[in-house]
Every structure is written in structure tokens, then in C-alpha cells.
Amino acid sequence: MFPLEDAEMGAFTFFASALPHDVCGSNGLPLTPNSIKILGRFQILKTITHPRLCQYVDISRGKHERLVVVAEHCERSLEDLLRERKPVRYPSYLAPEVIAQGIFKTTDHMPSKKPLPSGPKSDVWSLGIILFELCVGRKLFQSLDISERLKFLLTLDCVDDTLIVLAEEHGCLDIIKELPETVIDLLKKCLTFHPSKRPTPSELMKDKVFSEVSPLYTPFMKPASLFSSSLRCADLTLPEDISQLCKDINNDYLSERSIEEVYYLWCLAGGDLEKELVNKEIIRSKPPICTLPNFLFEDGESFGQDRDRSSLLDDTTVTLSLCQLRNRLKDVGGEAFYPLLEDDQSNLPHSNSNNELSAAATLPLIIREKDTEYQLNRIILFDRLLKAYPYKKNQIWKEARIDIPPLLRGLTWAALLGVEGAIHAKYDAIDKDTPIPTDRQIEVDIPRCHQYDELLSSPEGHAKFRRVLKAWVVSHPDLVYWQGLDSLCAPFLYLNFNNEALAYACMSAFIPKYLYNFFLKDNSHVIQEYLTVFSQMIAFHDPELSNHLNEIGFIPDLYAIPWFLTMFTHVFPLHKIFHLWDTLLLGNSSFPFCIGVAILQQLRDRLLANGFNECILLFSDLPEIDIERCVRESINLFCWTPKSATYRQHAQPPKPTSDSSGVRSSAPYFSAECPDPPKTDLSRESIPLNDLKSEVSPRISAEDLIDLCELTMTGHFKTPTKKTKSSKPKLLVVDIRNSEDFIRGHISGSINIPFSAAFTAEGELTQGLYTAMLQNFKGKVIVIVGHVAKHTAEFAAHLVKMKYPRICILDGGINKIKPTGLLTVPSPQI
């Protein structure tokens, strides 16, 4: 959108016609209110941008089918040139073919052909009427009522020269004759009665009159979109006189921001559309008792109410005052509007009220999203970073860890997912029209997908759902449509409602990263492995809860499949998904496991207190989940989870890196620089699914163990030693081999508890030299090491039964460590 500059924002309101309450559509569902239909169709108007067109900004739906439209508003208009007080009366400007079409009413429960809508040629007629009025200095048809005006326009079919007849009818033939020939020729072309003979706008632009005017105006070139193959800086020009530019700088920095941003900030600063309209008496309330009918039938039909005059069309535009917003931002300095992207000293832009911004950054997310000044700074910063994408991709990741401004969430998500290239050309090339077997299932699923949202429940929303889902199915022939894909599509479509190509591109990038092979025709092996790893994560982080759920038989297969298949979009409303995915997109493919565990921990007390049947009922209608707490705890669980503990053989293969030195990345796991780790000789090995299911605790790789123990390897294996602020060990290695094998060589710092004598007949730990140390490490990561996989799994299972958290097994046992040269031999005691 263009900057606000010297324009203003205005609002006007109207009512959509109400539908009968007792009629259902062909699908048996209630009819979609007309206001929701209008709301969906209105969205495309927001994409029409041109320097000489007023920009539509927003539409909101109120009570009783009321709609309020917000648009760029200019006090001076063509009417001011005519010096008339009345607003434009639309019927006088309608093309004859539009009038002849008549009023068309359609209902969802009656099939009917939709007439052809008014097209560009109809607009050419309207342009001709406007130009005629400007040339003669008066409005047409003022002496006729509306019906007579329409009849007169239809009779023009019988005349040879529409322009002359109109001039004679209004007594201005002399004025028309004095006009230049080029203008008369233009008017005749515009006022051609038959649309088939009337020129299109592009043909009209070739007229001589425009060739004389065009050089006076710089041709408008629509800027290249963020995700396209076009060079975004191709038409970038610098002013010739920089000193003059400095003199022309406007100190009203807010006016340099886009109309969309200004309106968003206006709402945050307390702007209320309905209140503005009430203050100007555009909306007038009426006591409810005065709206009661005189007569009422049993079926609900009523009679005898006086027609509410306030429901009649009033096209008055109310100017929205920006005083409250400007007052709210009065302490924001000019430098805040132009943050330095290369300055890494602070995550927040500089401002005269920087202390307040720093304080706001520590507040809960829901409060930060309502803070006008904070959002202004975040929007400006992200706007500049996104314009520099992909060059500034890493800095986008860095800022996204703080928070993502809701206004720019759609573009930010696309950047985090690495969307690039000519996405529109790719999307347009996909056949979305030819019928396919999946069409019927898609048609069934869409009317049930997040239909509480007005935008997604609109017919326009359904059509967009259909196209995006079908495009994904057609473009992925190796995968199939599973129920839940529609829920997965919903967040992307909502955020990119006017950009289907970007919604499709985001979904196409999201699925391989987090749901690789989940949509295979036979996905049972993928799902079963995923749920098994999730079970191990529950045992790793909350052994008490894991023991209870396993004892009552409440396994993840009964509740977690919809969670992971839809990445929680099937169980949470969109506003919670936005906050959840803001963090999910910063993690790798294992982060959803942590979200699942965090959800269970919020329900922990109720789960531990109930049996199987009660747990089934609990999850049939999931209780309210604190999503901010869920995000915080998910991050904490993620940071405590060894990288290889969530290894899956059916996960997306890691992308090859350009680094061939064998050095493993030491980047933080919760960052852009650390995707799923590449496979090395010390990585985890795949094991049969049945073997994986038999193990309660997860395995970790030798690579992870070396990192966590901060050991320095010898030979060709090289891992950077991590610097720690504390000398306290991060984990405890428990070697369960017999004492003789342990003495021959073991991991530095490990303790020896031989498996054969570790537990009593009652399942308790045998009291010994290292029992107290094991107890002291309860709560930290404990790695079980041996040379028999069955014994290490059983030892770990015993500890889980004893409610020891964060128990894991070294994959491949001690033999995986031997080639590294890291085993130590104790010095002989003298």
C-alpha cells in the first residue's frame, strides 16, 4: 500500500440484506449471511493500488448484518469541482447494459445462473458520463427522478448520436460544440451504447487525447512483490539533488507509513469505528422495546414493525481522526522510523522512549501485541528487514525469536520457511480446474474447517481453500489428501487471503519440514514411528505421567494423531495457532514433540487423577490451554532434549552442507543456522520399529554424548569444545558393564553400576557407592551406557519406573565410543 501522506482515512457503513432464518442450503447447513459473503468478496479490493485511486483498507462486520468499510479518503473530489453539495447518485452513471440487467437476487437453496458482472466496458460508459459533466459544468438528469433517468438511458439505443442527444436534453449543445475535436471524439467513444462496440480501457488509452496528456505524468509501475523472480530494485532511482531532498523531508513521519499500518496502529490506540459513526449520528440506536412487532406467528414471522430509518443507505463518509494516535506516538523520535539494520547493539530500535520499549519487551506477548508504540517499532523494523529478504534472513530469524508483529506475520512466516522465487508463476501453472477424485473429500472438509472465522467461512474463502488444497494435491503426485490437510492450510490462507500463491508456497515448504511423508498413501509406518518417539519424549521429561498413562493404556495413538497430522491446527483456534507457530517455525522438526509434552503437562493433574475412560472424555473436548505457557515450556523442554533423542528414520533427510571438514555445527539448536543435523559416523543408527517400541527411553548418539560431556576427540573426528560458565557437569554417564570391563576403559566422569547387581528383587536400586550420586543427578540428563542393548533398555526402564526424568540410552553402546580414543583407563592405585 502507498503512504498515507496528506490523505485521510474515512469510514462509511451499510446493511447487507438479511436472509430467512428457517431456510437451509443444499448441504443442510444454515445459509451464509450476506454480510459474510460481502466480507469475503471485498478482500480483493484491498489489492487494487494506484497513485490516482483511493485505497480500500478494511471491512468489518457488526450486528444485524451491518458492514463498515474503511478507505483512503480525500476531502476534495470531482464534486467539489462541480461545486455541488449532494453526493454522487450512482444510477445516473450506470451503463445501459447494467440497467437492463435489473436487480438480481440469489439464494443458496435455489439454483440459478449468475449474470455476467459489470465489466471494464461498463466503467468506460461511467467515465464518459463523468467527463461529460466536467466538460459542461453540471450534473445530468437532475430534473428527472431515478426511474425516469433509467428509462431515458435505455431509450438511447434508438438514437444515432448519444452525445448530441444528451447535450440537447440538458441544453448544453453549444458548450459541447466548442470542445476540442479530440475531447468530443473521446466522449463519443465512451458513450457508445452497445458494449460490443464500446472500446475497452486499454483501447481507450490509445486515443489521441491521452497521447497529449501522458507525457505529463510518470507512468505507474506496480512494485515487484517480495516473492517473485523480478528484480525488486530495478526501478529504484535516487534524487539528483540530495540537498533539496533534505529540505523536503516531512517531519510528519507517520504520514510516510502505509495506510494499512496507520489504520492498524489507529485501532491499537483505541480507535473504534462504530463509536466514530455513532458520534456523527450515522449509527443511531433505538430502544429495544420500540422494535417489538405488533403481530407474531408461531413460526417466528412477525408483522407491524415500523421500518428503522437507520437501516437505509447513507453513503456519508466519516473522517477518522488521527489525533489520538498522534498523541500516543508523540514521544517517538524520527530515528525510530528509520532503524539501522546493521546495528546489533540492541534488538529494539532507538526512540526517545527507549526505556519504555525495553520494559514493554519483557511483558507478556498478548500485551506487547496491543502496545501501540511497541508495535510501531516492530512493524517498521520487520518491514525493512523483509524488504531486504533474503539478504537479511538471519536477522529476521533473530528478531522473530523476540516476537513477530501480527500485521506482518504472513510475510515473516514465508521468510522463516525460506520461500523464494517466482511463486506466482509456479502456482498459476498448476491445473486447479480439472476434476480429480479428491474433489469430493475436499468439498466435505472445507465447510467444517475453522468456520467460526468470518473470512474462512465466506464463499470466497471456501473457493480459495479449494484452489490451494487442490494445487497442493496436483503438484505432489507421490502424496495424497488426508483429512486434516484443510486445517493445516487454514493459517496460511488466513494470513495470505489475497495471495493464494504465497499460501500455497508456505504450505508446500512447511509440510516437508515438519510432516515429511505424513501424507503418503500408506503412512502407517511414519505415524507409528512418530508416536513411538513421542511416547519416549513423555517418559524422558515426565516419567510419572508416562508410567500412569501406560498403566491405564492411554497411549498416544488414541489422542495425538490429530495433533501432529495437523500440527495442532485441528485442536486450537487460529489466534492460538499464530502464537504457537511463531515459535514452531523457529525450531526444527522435533519441536512438535515438545509442544505435545507441554500440553500434557498442563493437563497433568487431571490425567494423573483419572483412569482410561475419564481421559478419553477429557480429550474429546480438550480443556482450555494457556498457549503462552505452552510455548515457554516447549522451549524449555526443547533445550533439555538431546538433539538425537528425537531421531526418526522417516524424517526428512538433512540437506547437504558445503562444509566438508567433518566439523559439526555448534550453532544453537533453536536458530536458523541449525536445521536437523547431518549424518556422520557417530550419528544414530536406524533400528526396526518393534525394537524402538520396546524401549521406554530414547537413544542418543555418540556425537551428542561427546558434545554434552564436553570431550575433545582425537583422530579425524573433530568437535569444538563448548565453553561453559559453570564447572558443574551437565549430565551423568552410568556405565552398566561389569567392573572388569569398566576398568579396561570408560568414558571420563562416568560411574559404574553393573547391571547384574543393580536392582533388588522388588525393583529398587541396590544401595552402593554410586547410588547417592545417581540420586543427586535426578533431574539432569542421565545416559545409560553398556554393550548389550537389551540390558541398557531394561536399566533405563527401571529408572523411569522409579520416576527418574531425562533418562536416555547411548545408541550403539560403548563400542561406538571406542574408535574416538575418548575412553580413559584409571591410574593404578599404589
Residue entry with cell 480459495: 464
For the purposes of burial, counting CB atoms within 10 Å of the CB of 366, is it exposed (0-12), middle (13-18) or buried (19 or more)?
exposed
* Higher-confidence position of 405 and 304: 405
pLDDT at 657: 54
Which pLDDT band, with edges at 50, 70 and 90, does 821 fall under?
confident
**Per-residue pLDDT averaged across 719-740, rounded?**
67
Which pLDDT band, with edges at 50, 70 and 90, does 342 fall under?
confident
Judged against a pLDDT cut of 50, whether residue 723 lies above it is answered with: no
CB-based contact 821:809 (threshold 8 Å): no
pLDDT at 378: 95
β-pair partners for 3: 258
Neighbour tally for 591: CB within 10 Å: 22
- What's the pLDDT tens digit per position in 109-168? 444 455 555 788 989 999 998 999 889 888 887 777 777 777 787 788 788 888 888 888
Amino acid at 572: F
- What's the pLDDT tens digit per position in 547-577? 999 999 999 999 999 999 999 999 999 999 9
Which pLDDT band, with edges at 50, 70 and 90, does 103 fall under?
low
β-pair partners for 778: 780
pLDDT at 267: 96
DSSP track, 23-87: -B-TTSSBPPPHHHHHHHHHGGGGG---TTSPPEEEEEE-GGGEEEEEEEE-S--HHHHHT--SP
Judged against a pLDDT cut of 80, whether residue 86 lies above it is answered with: no
* Higher-confidence position of 357 and 524: 524
- What's the pLDDT tens digit per position in 747-768? 988 999 999 888 888 878 888 7
pLDDT at 45: 94
pLDDT at 710: 76
Question: Which of 663, 664, 669 minimizes the C-alpha distance to 642?
Answer: 669
pLDDT at 159: 81
Instruction: Identify the weakest region by mean pLDDT among 4-13, 301-310, 389-398, 584-593.
Output: 301-310
Helix (H) and strand (E) counts in the chain = 38, 13
Judged against a pLDDT cut of 60, whether residue 463 lies above it is answered with: yes
Rounded to the nearest integer, the mean pLDDT of the chain is 85
Sheet containing 314-320: order of strands: 56-61, 66-73, 8-15, 314-320
Which pLDDT band, with edges at 50, 70 and 90, does 518 fall under?
very high
- What's the pLDDT tens digit per position in 773-819? 888 888 899 999 999 999 999 999 999 999 999 999 999 999 999 88
pLDDT at 641: 94
Burial 610-626 (b: 16+ CB within 10 A, else e): beeeebeebbeeeeebe
Instruction: Identify the weakest region by mean pLDDT among 128-132, 581-585, 684-688, 820-824.
Output: 820-824
Cα separation, 677 vs 655, whole angstroms: 9
- What's the pLDDT tens digit per position in 639-680? 999 999 999 999 988 776 544 444 444 444 444 445 556 778
pLDDT at 446: 94
Instruction: Identify the weakest region by mean pLDDT among 30-39, 141-150, 422-431, 755-764.
Output: 141-150
Cα separation, 427 vs 34, whole angstroms: 30
CA 654 to chain centre: 26
pLDDT at 304: 72
**Per-residue pLDDT averaged across 606-619, rounded?**
95
Q: Please give the span between the terminal C-alpha atoms of the chain, in angstroms, as a whole number.
A: 82
Largest CA distance in the chain: 126
Which pLDDT band, with edges at 50, 70 and 90, does 243 fall under?
low
Determine what percent of the chain is predicted with pLDDT higher than 70. Answer: 85
**Cβ neighbours for 360, distance < 8 A, ≥ 6 positions apart:** 367, 368, 371, 373, 374
DSSP track, 362-407: TS-HHHHTT-HHHHHHHHHHHHHHHHTTTTTHHHHHHHHTT---GG
DSSP track, 659-726: --S-PPP-S-SSSTT--SPPP-TTSPPP--HHHHHH-SSPEE-HHHHHHHHTPPP-TT---PPPP-S-
CB-based contact 745:823 (threshold 8 Å): yes
Tell me the CA distances in angstroms from 801 to 106, 182, 331, 696, one per residue in order: 66, 93, 59, 10
Tell me the CA distances in angstroms from 389 to 225, 393, 407, 638, one per residue in order: 12, 6, 17, 28
Instruction: Identify the weakest region by mean pLDDT among 20-24, 83-87, 481-485.
Output: 83-87
Question: Which of 548, 537, 529 minimizes the C-alpha distance to 807?
Answer: 537
**Per-residue pLDDT averaged across 490-511, rounded?**
97
pLDDT at 675: 55
**Cβ neighbours for 757, distance < 8 A, ≥ 6 positions apart:** 766
* pTM for this entry: 0.84
CA angle 574, 514, 586 (to 5 degrees): 70
Instruction: Identify the weakest region by mean pLDDT among 204-213, 325-334, 390-399, 669-678.
Output: 669-678
- Walk me through the domains of the chain, giving residue ranges and CATH numbers: 8-103+116-216 (1.10.510), 423-515 (1.10.8.270), 523-641 (1.10.472.80), 689-714+726-824 (3.40.250.10)
pLDDT at 307: 62
For the purposes of burial, counting CB atoms within 10 Å of the CB of 255, is it exposed (0-12), middle (13-18) or buried (19 or more)?
middle
Torsion angle of C-alpha atoms 412, 414, 419, 421, degrees rounded to 10: -80
**Per-residue pLDDT averaged across 348-356, rounded?**
50
Instruction: Identify the weakest region by mean pLDDT among 361-365, 581-585, 602-606, 785-789.
Output: 361-365
Question: Which long-range CB contacts under 8 A does 452-457 form with residues at least 24 apart?
Answer: 452/573, 453/494, 453/574, 454/36, 454/39, 454/61, 455/39, 455/40, 455/43, 455/494, 455/497, 456/490, 456/493, 456/494, 457/32, 457/36
Amino acid at 25: G
For the purposes of burial, counting CB atoms within 10 Å of the CB of 571, is it exposed (0-12), middle (13-18) or buried (19 or more)?
middle
- What's the pLDDT tens digit per position in 213-234? 777 777 777 777 788 777 777 7
**Per-residue pLDDT averaged across 435-457, rounded?**
94
Cα separation, 152 vs 34, whole angstroms: 32
Cα separation, 140 vs 11, whole angstroms: 27
